[in-house]
A and B are shown apart, each in its own frame.
Chain A
Amino acid sequence: MKILRLFKTGIRDAFKGVFRNFSLSLAAIFSIVITLLLVTASIILSANLNNITKQIEKDITIVTFMQKDATDKDVDSLKGKLEEVDNIASFTYKSKAEIKKEISNDSDVFNALLSQFDDESVPLKNVFHIKVIDVRYINDTAKTIKGFEEVSAIQYGEGMVEQLVSVFSVIEKITIGVVIAMIVVSAFLISNTIKITIYSRRTEIDIMRLVGTSNFAIRFPHLVEGFIIGALGSIIPILATIYGYTIMYSNLDGYIFSKMFLLIKPYNFVYLISFVLFIIGSLVGMIGSYRAVRKYLKI
Chain B
Amino acid sequence: MCDIIIMVINDMEFISLKDCYKIYRNGVTAVARLNLKIEKGEFVFVIGSSGSGKSSIIKMLYREEKPSKGEVIVGGVNVAKLRDSKVYKLRRRIGIVFQDFKLLPNLNVYENVAFPLESFGLKKSEIKTKVHKALDQVGLREKYKSFPRELSGGEQQRVCIARAIVNEPKLLICDEPTGNLDSDTAKEIMNVIEKINKETQTTVIMATHAKEIVNRMKKRVVCIENGVLVYDKEKGTYKTHENTKAI
Contact = CB atoms under 8 A, between A and B. Distances in A.
Given A212-B120, A217-B121, A299-B63, A203 B102 contact: yes
Contacts of A169: none
Contact of B64 (A210, A212, A217): A210
Contacts of A217: 119-121
Interface string A1-31: 0110110010000000000100000000000
Nearest to B112: A207
Contacts of A20: 106
A166 interface: no
B91 A210 contact: yes
Contacts of B123: 5
Interface string B101-122: 0101010000000011011111
Contact of B119 (A3, A9, A206): A9
A55 interface: no
A7 to B, nearest CB: 9
Give the bracket for the number of chain B residues in contact with chain A.
20 to 34
Contacts of A9: 118-119, 121
A6 B121 contact: yes
Interface in B92-139: 92-94, 96, 102, 104, 106, 115-116, 118-123
Interface string A203-215: 1101111111111
Interface in A214-241: 214-215, 217-218
Interface in A58-100: none
Contacts of B62: 210
Contacts of B24: none
A219 to B, nearest CB: 11
Interface in B66-96: 84-85, 87-94, 96
A240 B91 CA distance: 50
B207 to A, nearest CB: 15
Contacts of B104: 204, 207
Contacts, number: 61
Contact of A299 (B87, B106, B115): B87
A183 B64 CA distance: 39
A118 to B, nearest CB: 93
Given A9-B118, A299-B63, A213 B88 contact: yes
B120 A213 contact: yes
Classify the interface of chain A: helix, strand, loop or mixed. Answer: helix
A20 B105 CA distance: 12
Contacts of A215: 85, 88
Interface in B144-183: 163, 167
Contacts of A207: 102, 104, 115
B161 to A, nearest CB: 13
Contacts of B96: 210-211
Nearest to B166: A211
Of A2, A3, A208, A211, most B-chain CB atoms within 10 Å: A211
A271 B131 CA distance: 50
A211 B63 contact: no
Contacts of B163: 211
B102 A213 contact: no
A6 B88 CA distance: 15
B96 to A, nearest CB: 6
Interface of A: 2-3, 5-6, 9, 20, 203-204, 206-215, 217-218, 299
List the 5 shortest-distance A-B pairs measured between CB atoms, nearest first.
Answer: A212-B92, A212-B91, A211-B116, A2-B121, A213-B119
Given A212-B91, A213-B88, 11 more contacts: A6-B121, A20-B106, A207-B104, A210-B91, A210-B102, A211-B92, A212-B89, A212-B92, A218-B119, A299-B84, A299-B87
